[in-house]
A = this chain, B = another copy of it.
Amino acid sequence: MHQARIVGVGMTNFGVHDQPLPELFSSAAFDAMDDAGVDAPAIESFYLGNAMGGQTERDTHLAPTLASHIGLAGIPCQRYEDACATSSNAFKHAVRAVEAGQHDVILVGGVERCTPTTGLDTPEMTSVFASASHRQYEQPTGLSFPGVFGLLTTRHMHEYGTTEEDLAAVAVKNHHHGTYNPRAQFGSETTVEEVLESPIVASPFHLFDCCPFSDGAAAVVVANEEAAADFSGESVAVSGVGHATDTIPLADKADFTATQSARDAANQAYEQAGVGPDDIDVVELHDCFTGAEVLAIEALGFFEDGEGGPAAANGETALDGRIPVNPSGGLKAKGHPIGATGVAQLVELTEHLRGEAGERQVEGARRGLAHNLGGDAGTTIVSILEVDA
């Protein structure tokens, strides 16, 4: 089996972009190709993540359209849609294709516009996002995603005594990290008081517990070890990728606080990489809501079940903490252009492993983990990247 490596990375700022998707995506794609030192003819296939383009901007069949736009017409292209885990699933399949020797060099990218640049306002976009919840059992009740994660988090508070202040501390930490990230949508600090005084969106989440709607794009070039050695980009190894699902609708889940698909995906990734949670130096995870970060740090094995609540308040997940979580600012502060989010996590990790993360650098980071979740905690993909020993 070949080893898949990330040889080049690129991403746009996350925030508001009033550009058509092909333009927005090309910025990230060309940056990744330049970073890798890869010219277009070397790219054998294109794996795209875009979640909602049909609904938000009447734009489908996007994979070959974007490929054409950046000079890759002709190669096999595919679009993945797996709710918020969309581009991580594209990445997983690209990694598997490289591992199997089916392709030597692949461009993986994600792009999405979720702000009013699409012509949709916040309630309309919330409704579009809700199409990823269960059509028959959840959508008719008005359950949108703040509510989905509000339910999971409420159960965690009930079982373990996690508090609204614990949740607010996640927002405070990720906003603080975001101040070091020039690509982050929110580059300003917040406080526990400000979070708790912001309006309730869906109990227990206040507005500042929720990630924003964002436009953005991200891309990585994945290559096998031989191809990677020929390119100028400093590459990192993809040492493990795990992918699992859980029951949909939410009500069918055996355990509301476990986010079982994350546990299963993490175990697969740890097994492929031959490591465990203690071997991870830096984490980018799916904090679509503050409570989601609490559930994730337990599911990934960094904290015992029930002990994730106070982690941010105690500084354990800060940049200089025991296990730095979301140095980028996470979805909460960096932003969440759905289809771009998974690949953007990999861009962030690659920069840490290369020592190129600037003020937010996790010092000496040699192994990073990305956790990207979709829908009703229904899909999770966990990827482990590392620098060579």
Contacts and interface: CB of A to CB of B under 8 A. Distances in A.
Number of copies: 2
A61 B247 contact: no
B244 A375 contact: no
Interface centre among A57, A101, A247 (most CB of B within 10 A): A247
Contact of A75 (B75, B135, B244): B244
Nearest to A22: B136
Interface stretch (A78-86, A174-182, A210-218): A78-86
A136 B61 contact: no
Contacts of A81: 54, 60-61, 79-81
Interface stretch (A7-15, A62-70, A222-230, A364-372): A62-70
A252 B74 CA distance: 12
A116 to B, nearest CB: 18
Interface stretch (A92-100, A192-200, A290-298): A92-100
Contacts of A115: none
A60 B20 contact: no
A77 B101 CA distance: 22
Interface of A: 20-22, 51-52, 54-55, 57-61, 63-65, 67-68, 73-83, 89, 92-93, 96-97, 99-102, 128, 130-136, 139, 243-249, 252, 260-261, 264, 374-376, 378-379
21 contacts: A21-B135, A52-B54, A54-B128, A55-B60, A58-B131, A61-B131, A61-B133, A61-B374, A64-B246, A64-B375, A64-B379, A68-B245, A68-B252, A68-B378, A76-B243, A76-B244, A77-B82, A77-B379, A80-B80, A80-B81, A93-B93
